[in-house]
Structure formats: structure tokens, C-alpha cells
Amino acid sequence: MIITENLITFFSETREHTEALCKPLEIEDYVVQPIVDVSPPKWHLGHTTWFFEEFILKHHKPNYQLFNEDFAFVFNSYYESIGKRVVRNDRGNLSRPGVAKVYDYRHYVTNELKELLSSNVSKEVEMLLLMGIHHEKQHQELLMTDIKYILGNNPLLPRYNDTFEEDYTQSFPSKWITMNEGIYEIGHDNPSSFCYDNELGRHKVFIHEYNISNKLVTNKEYLEFINSGGYEDFNLWHAEGWDWLKQTKISQPMYWHNIDGDWHHYTLKGLQKLNLDAPVMHISYFEAFAYAQWKGCRLPTEFEWEAAQKLFEWGSRWEWTESAYLPYPGYKKAPGAIGEYNGKFMVNQKVLRGSSVVSPNHHIRPTYRNFFQTNLRWQFTGIRLAK
């Protein structure tokens, strides 16, 4: 089949956009890995490239020459099927390949793929191409959260740039949206648009009557929770959350700094006074849950969220839900390495719905299921209440 011009443009733009996101970085910023959850930017650049090379070029481009044999080893992430990989917490220990070499690798693979796409290819290649583009978009989001972590945990607090806006104030009044009891259809249903396997299997869910807020919880509201002793009252927390609090000594969202009694937070524009009207962010599921308990409310399930999402504004914060990350009825993971993408994480994680200020275009949809462990905070996470 012939790949459409549109899709080729989509591919090119995605590849360029990743590089544009890295423009403000110094070379040193590409290298470090301050915690295991954060990957060095150059690793993101290499890994998204390796995906195209490993799954498309290597198998589908005749006489394709690997850019460098060792890169499969360096840039593989968690794909056990593909052989050895650098353990995840070792990524920040690798000074080589250097940044320039990684860009060479990117451009080589981009060009080789464009050449392949200009010829007649199989349906499978088109599917893998789409997969690779969306995989890269997912990493664009992680890239931004990781960059924020790398800069925001440096004692010099360097800014990323002067313009990136993280605070999306919702200036309308807050109210409860009431949803009727009944059967709702959940999951992706548009065969012509891309989605991940974990969104498939559109199915019926019975939901009891509930209320869901039209607004995200703000910094001001969250401050009230802090000031009223929310972090000291074990009644509000899961047992595991309470242990986590005592171990980490956490008492505020990530990136918050109290400077001479005034709350500030680090943003990609640098250290800023806390905007009280903006939605709170960088809180763990444990904190989101405790906040909801304190308010006498709860978090919505992912089904409640999806059923109601047309009725409220979303998109600036990933929103924690009460739902554990589980397969939809009839879920089957794809065979081989592609199948490692989602299914094997379906245990001990919570679903987040929506998207965030660093989510790339064309990567946002109501059925998207993001998921993280309950203690993680470096994402642009937020809270929406239900009851």
C-alpha cells in the first residue's frame, strides 16, 4: 500500500517536535537521571528512534544497515523479548553515545524511514508506523516531565524557557454535575483513529448515580488541606500511603518551596509565586485520595470520568481516578514485543484520565488510559472530586 502524504507529514512533524522540545537544553541536561523514574533526555531521543529501527527498518527495509549494533542494547527500555538492555537505573551513568551521536542516529533513522515510506509497503508497516509515532508522542510528554524534574531538582533551579505556561486557571464557578444511574459504553470505538490496545474492547458498565465536579481542585483549596493538618491525620490516608508519608517526610506537593512564609513553586519558567487559583499539581494518588477523604468526597472511577467527560473542561492535568489499572473485558495482548507495551503493567497501578499541559497534540482523547504507581508525583497530576 501507499502511505498517505498526511501520515508522512505526521511522522516528520513528530520527529521534529521531539527535537524542538530539547532546544532549550544544554548538552549536560541530556545526560543525567536523578531518580529511576526519570530518563535522561538523550535516552528518550535514542529510544524513540530505536523503536522505528527495531520494529520497522530492521525487518521491513531491504538491506537496511543498523546505525550501530550496540544501540539496541543501550536504547531498549523494558522489552525483554529483544534481548539484553541497560538496566533502567543505569541510564544516567552512560556518557556515551554523546548527544551529537544520538542526533546523528535520529536523522539517519528518520531519513531511512522516509525512504522506506516513499515505496510500496505492507499494511503492517503502516500499523507499526502509527504505533511508533504515538510511542514517540508519549515520550514527548515524559520528556517534558523528566526535563522539569532534572532542572527543578537542581539547587540552581535553572529555567527551561521564559514562556512555558503550566497554570490554566479555571475561572468559572464550581458546581456538581449529576449523572444518572444506568449502563454506559466505555472504551474506544472509532476504528479509523488510533488508540492503544488497553482502550479497546468497548464494553458496557453499570454506573450508579453520582456527582462529579466541573472543576479541578485548586492550589488554594489544597493549601487549606495542608493548613488544617491533612498531612498529619492518618485517618485520611491509606495504610500504605501513611507509611510512605512517614518514610519520605513529604508534607506538600512536589516543587513547592516555602520561602520566608510565602509559597512558591518551580515551573518550567523558573521559580514562581504560587498561583492560588490554578489547579494543584504534582501530587501522588495517596495525596489525591487523602484530600478527597478530607473533603468528605472521593475520586471518580475511570468509568465515571469517561461517562461524564463531555460535560466538563479537562486537559491541563492528568486526573487520578479510583480505578486500578486492569484489562477491559476481552483484552488480549498483542503477540511479541509490541504486546509488552501495556498489558504487563496491569497490576498495582492507578488509572489517570485526561491529559496535561505537556501532552502533545493528537495524543489526547477521552478514552486514553494513563497509569502510574500510587506514590509517583513527577507527572502533571491533578484532582477532580466525585461523590
Rule CB under 8 A: is residue 90 a binding residue for a second copy?
Answer: yes
What type of residue is 371? F
Q: Is the Cβ–Cβ distance between 317 and 380 less than 8 Å?
A: yes
Rule CB under 8 A: is residue 89 a binding residue for a second copy?
Answer: no
What is d(CA 95, CA 31) in angstroms, rounded to the nearest whole number? 7
Shortest gap between Cβ of 98 and a second copy (angstroms)?
5
The SS3 call for residue 259 is strand
Q: In the structure grid, which three cell numbers stand for residue 280, read together?
A: 494543584
Shortest gap between Cβ of 378 and a second copy (angstroms)?
14
Rule CB under 8 A: is residue 326 a binding residue for a second copy?
Answer: yes
Shortest gap between Cβ of 172 and a second copy (angstroms)?
28
Site for a second copy in 181-220 (CB under 8 A): 183, 203-206, 208, 210
Rule CB under 8 A: is residue 150 a binding residue for a second copy?
Answer: yes
The SS3 call for residue 271 is strand
Site for a second copy in 334-373 (CB under 8 A): 339-340, 344-348
Which residue in 187, 176, 175 sits closest to 307, CA to CA? 187
Q: Which of 17, 64, 82, 92 binds a second copy (CB under 8 A)?
A: 92
Work out the end-to-end distance of the chain between its first and last CA atoms, rounded to an integer number of angstroms.
51
Q: Which of 16, 189, 240, 277 binds a second copy (CB under 8 A)?
A: 240
Q: Is the Cβ–Cβ distance between 21 and 140 less than 8 Å?
A: yes
Q: Which of 121, 131, 151, 280 binds a second copy (CB under 8 A)?
A: 151
- DSSP state letter for 214: S
Q: How many residues contact a second copy, by CB under 8 A?
A: 67
Shortest gap between Cβ of 7 and a second copy (angstroms)?
31
Shortest gap between Cβ of 234 and a second copy (angstroms)?
4
**11 vs 320 by CB, closer to a second copy:** 320
| R_g of the chain, CA atoms, integer Å | 22
Q: Which of 1, 83, 96, 171 binds a second copy (CB under 8 A)?
A: 96
What is d(CA 38, CA 143) in angstroms, rounded to the nearest whole number? 9
Rule CB under 8 A: is residue 109 a binding residue for a second copy?
Answer: no
Q: Which of 18, 374, 379, 381 binds a second copy (CB under 8 A)?
A: 374
The C-alpha cell 551513568 sits at 93
**324 vs 364 by CB, closer to a second copy:** 324
Cα angle 149, 44, 326 (rounded to 5 degrees) comes to 80
String of b and e for 268-278 (b: at least 16 CB within 10 Å)? bebebebbeeb
Which residue in 280, 209, 244 sits closest to 376, CA to CA? 244
Rule CB under 8 A: is residue 160 a binding residue for a second copy?
Answer: no
What is d(CA 372, CA 356) in angstroms, rounded to the nearest whole number? 14
**85 vs 362 by CB, closer to a second copy:** 85
Binding stretches for a second copy (CB under 8 A): 26-34, 42, 70, 73-74, 78, 80-81, 86, 90, 92-99, 150-151, 153-156, 158, 183, 203-206, 208, 210, 234-235, 237-242, 285-286, 289, 298, 322-324, 326-327, 329-330, 339-340, 344-348, 374
